[in-house]
Amino acid sequence: MQLTIENILLVGSLLLFISVVVGKTSYKFGVPTLILFLAIGMLAGSDGIAGIRFDNPKNAQLIGIISLNFILFSGGLDTNWSSIKPVLKEGIMLSTFGVLLTAVSLGTFVYYVTDFTIYESMLLGSIVSSTDAAAVFSILRSKNLALKTNLRPTLELESGSNDPMAYVLTIAFLTLVINQDQGLVSIIPMFIKQMVVGAAAGFGFGVASKFIINRIRLDFEGLYPVLVIALMFMTFSATDFVGGNGFLAIYICAVYLGNQDIIHKATILKMFDGLAWLMQIVLFLTLGLLVFPSQIVPYIGIGMLISLFLIFVARPIGVMISLVFFKMKMRRRFYISWVGLRGAVPIVFATYPLLAGIEKANMIFSIVFFISVTSILIQGTTLSVLAKWLNVGLPEKSKIINEVDQLLLELPKSSLQEFTISPDFFAVNKRIVDLNFPRSAFIIMIKRDNQFIRPGGSTEIMANDILMVLADDQQEYIKVHESLKYK
């Protein structure tokens, strides 16, 4: 079947509907949802029962980049700074040095077991060197794993921040494959520029985005998520335009925004949570359509060999050496090593050699696809079992719920108090978002002149307003009173 303007919406909506319905029950059978999305795309593809012909790596790459923007941005928004701060050094080491070690060790292995050149081998190693944010976020949160001693923040920080390193390595070694006369030293300036400019632009756009969101006055609450989407794409594209790493920039920007007081934050978080799921489905369906299973069969043997080396040797080498200077129990290191899930990101990166037209591009793509599938099947289905076996899991009742979870789940607090705003209070004529209001307390209603107002971040507090506030304990109410009365 050829996709046309007339049937693309019908086919797309049917595939999306099937993915959502099938994904709903997938974990009852221990199958990761992402694999099912991929399988549905393959069944609908040219080698499948639907026979939809989609052989356009350029469009697949565009869809992949757009999807990764949403997935990384949503993951950044959900990242709680207080949770990742204690493990920031470990996360940075894993997402940089760990990725480099994984790429080099796997590339060296590929060089000795295939007829690839050293640069082609390192290119393959670079493409699959990072853990996949979509896979890690999806599987950890779908399985609702409660892990000990900051383990989960470490894993989510690593998966959300290590794609930029893999991207830089992929582009660098692809350049060396195309330009055989260049040496490794020639890519160092590009690497430094990508990472430094990307990090600086991410923070700068984060600060600017907060200012724009809180200062611009939109008439409709639904426009604020649209505004954030525009800012997200501006961050990525502008950073990429000046030679920085756009993926790193949007993640840092999102982490900054997610830990600031911004207008309609709950609405924005919910919107991006839904969009991230949509983009995961679209991304895996698209990559499933792009793959020709008949072309992968010849590479199953070498693909399995490389995949097993990555899972049991290259990834552990990267993790163990990266964390050698940190005090951490060995079983935690082993678990971090096991949650080295490869998913859609390596497949998206594998489209770069295809578009560059290098000689072994199709072989690289097929091997990368096989590695991603086996990684999710082998590692993704055993995360809960291994957490229990290594004793790094917590009972579900022990799981800590952070501020982001509270906003998304709208959990009730334990008590309610009213605060009357005197004319001399600092809060008079101030917007709620401009107050240093405790994050664990919520204004649920404002009584003004015998009328009740449902508050939002842009709501201005007036003299003699009565605020109904939910919080956990008296200590929180003391902080609420101080934020309303004093600057």
One-character DSSP codes across 73-127 = HHHHHT--HHHHGGGHHHHHHIIIIIHHHHHHHHHHHHHHHSS--HHHHHHHHHH
Residue 294's CB: how many other CB atoms inside 10 A? 9
- Closest by CA to 382, choosing from 156, 196, 139, is 139
* Euclidean distance between CA atoms 195 and 97, whole angstroms: 13
* Euclidean distance between CA atoms 486 and 472, whole angstroms: 22
* pLDDT of the residue at 333: 92
Question: What Å distances lie between residue 156 and 89, 103, 236, 339, CA to CA?
Answer: 14, 20, 21, 10
* Euclidean distance between CA atoms 33 and 27, whole angstroms: 7
The residues, any chain, with a CB within 8 Å of residue 18's CB and separated by 6 or more, are 40
* Euclidean distance between CA atoms 177 and 181, whole angstroms: 9
Question: What Å distances lie between residue 311 and 279, 332, 335, 340, CA to CA?
Answer: 26, 16, 12, 7
- Category of 456 on φ-ψ map: left (φ > 0), alpha (ψ -120 to 50) or beta: beta
* pLDDT of the residue at 479: 86
* pLDDT of the residue at 21: 75
Question: What are residue 386's phi and psi, to 5 degrees?
Answer: -70, -35
* Euclidean distance between CA atoms 348 and 371, whole angstroms: 13
Q: Are 67 and 133 in contact (CB under 8 A)?
A: no
* Euclidean distance between CA atoms 479 and 431, whole angstroms: 17
Q: Which two tokens stand for residue 298?
A: 């010849």
Q: What is the pTM of this model?
A: 0.80
In the DSSP assignment, the letter for residue 432 is G
Q: Which two tokens stand for residue 439?
A: 């994050």
Segment-wise mean pLDDT, segments of 10 residues, the chain, 487 residues: 64 78 58 73 75 81 91 88 88 93 96 95 95 71 64 84 90 90 80 92 96 88 92 96 93 93 88 87 84 84 94 95 91 90 86 91 92 88 84 59 48 70 88 80 85 82 88 82 82
Residue 58's CB: how many other CB atoms inside 10 A? 10
**278 half-sphere exposure, CB direction, 13 A CA radius:** 11
Q: Which two tokens stand for residue 372?
A: 């991603």
* pLDDT of the residue at 268: 92
Domains of the chain: 55-398 (1.20.1530.20), 413-485 (3.30.70.1450)
* Euclidean distance between CA atoms 150 and 329, whole angstroms: 12
* pLDDT of the residue at 183: 76
- Closest by CA to 80, choosing from 472, 473, 452, 408, is 408
In the DSSP assignment, the letter for residue 455 is -
